[in-house]
Amino acid sequence: MSEHDELAAEKELAIRLARVDDDADNDSHLLKLLERPLDWNWIAVTATRHKMVQLYWHNMMRKGLIAPALGTGGLPELWTVYWSQLYASGQARNRLWMANAEEVCHRLADAGVRIVAIKGGALIGDVYSTENRFLNDIDFLAERADIAAIKACMTTLGYEYGSYNYATGRIDPIDRRVERAWLFNNHCMPNFYRLTQDPITPYYKIQIGFDFFDPFEEFSIDGGAVVAGARPKSDGSGMLVPAPLDTLINLCSHIYREGVSLVYDDYNVNWQLGKFCDLLSFLLKYDVELDLGDFLEKVEEQGIRQPMFYAFHYADQVYRHPVLRRWLAATDPGDHGYLDELRDGERRVLVEEPFHDRLFSLRNVRAEPLAGWNRQFRRDQW
């Protein structure tokens, strides 16, 4: 971070709060940052954009940082009201979403379909609690051969393809053209939604995919093998989660797939601290038991060294944390030119803006989308 960046302190605070486990000196750095007034309007918007409101407030409470933030850090009382309410509603929402995800797992299993929770659904109850991680949807991995059975079962559970309309409180269905395009171009089925009668949780959203990458990308993961190797979740629930090495590959693939995407860049959502926090937090818990040799063997078999290095590289750019270094060094592909590329199918666009500027950018959505998927469909259709 540049010494001349007027938001350098705010950016450092944003990064230091974006972690589940702490280094010994992290709290002292946070207290130092709170000795003078900060731009909390920027911090609040950034926390929302990066899906960090719950984790930030959770960490500020458990570390005793709210008092110094209000006293010398310039935190407006109004933001404490908003954040504390969002934190409480987020806890309630997560409990409902996770309970619903359990029910979906059981019902699909009864229908003979094996699905595996990934990302947030897998990490909550293991790395995170229901209190400190935001959920935008529940992601599952399944086998592509089960598409028809999955759709039939989800329909009986009251789910439908579509998108939630915040103006009307209804689910806007998608037409067959969009459904076919989803299944052809995407690594997952269209989003499933089900309305509820709960004002805090007006809907449930579930995404079920078959690969960690989209079909037109140069990389692919055998989703069937991940599903076959899944195991029960460590919190004793009935959900299945990938084996630890597969979870690590999934977290890295997710950072890469969205980071290089010109489709996501159109909407300025390539980068989220939540994704980097997932990766760091998972490694801090499982680094000792993960076998680096087995990981590298899987990486070479799948031909995914570039995406893995990409994720470790940018996670290290965020955290500068020692636990990332051996994974970073072991996956180095030699060629680093692709690290500053955006991709749209076979198109390549070189980005010259520094990473931290891109990470914390609050720029507007492009009025004229540049990427192919966005030229075909509205944002609310994907």
The per-residue pLDDT for 366 is 80
pLDDT in tens, 342-363: 998 888 999 999 999 999 999 9
Name the band, by pLDDT with cuts 50, 70 and 90, for residue 4. very low
CB 287 within 8 A of CB 325: no
Query: Rounded to the nearest 5 degrees, what angle is found at the Cα of 193, between the Cα atoms of 54 and 170?
Result: 95
Mean pLDDT of the chain: 92
pLDDT score recorded for residue 378: 65
Query: Tell me: the pLDDT tens digits for 261-273?
Result: 998 998 999 999 9
- Minimal CA–CA distance to 63: which of 95, 33, 94? 33
Q: Express each pLDDT in 46-55 by its tens digit.
A: 999 999 999 9
- In this prediction, residue 217 carries a pLDDT of 82
CA angle 284, 253, 221 (to 5 degrees): 120
- Token pair belonging to 317: 């750019």
For residue 1, the model assigns a pLDDT of: 41
Per-residue pLDDT, 23: 77
Percentage of the chain modeled with pLDDT above 70: 95
Predicted local distance difference test score (pLDDT) of residue 382: 59
Token pair of 9 as six digits: 């302190």
For residue 343, the SS3 value is strand
Neighbours of 146 (CB within 10 A): 20
Q: What is the pLDDT of residues 320-338, one digit of tens each?
A: 999 999 999 999 999 999 9
Which token pair is 49? 């954009």
- Judge whether 49 and 360 are in contact, CB under 8 Å: no
Check: pTM over 0.85? Answer yes or no: yes
- What is the mean pLDDT of the segment spanning 350-378? 82
Confidence class of residue 60 from pLDDT cuts 50, 70 and 90?
A: very high
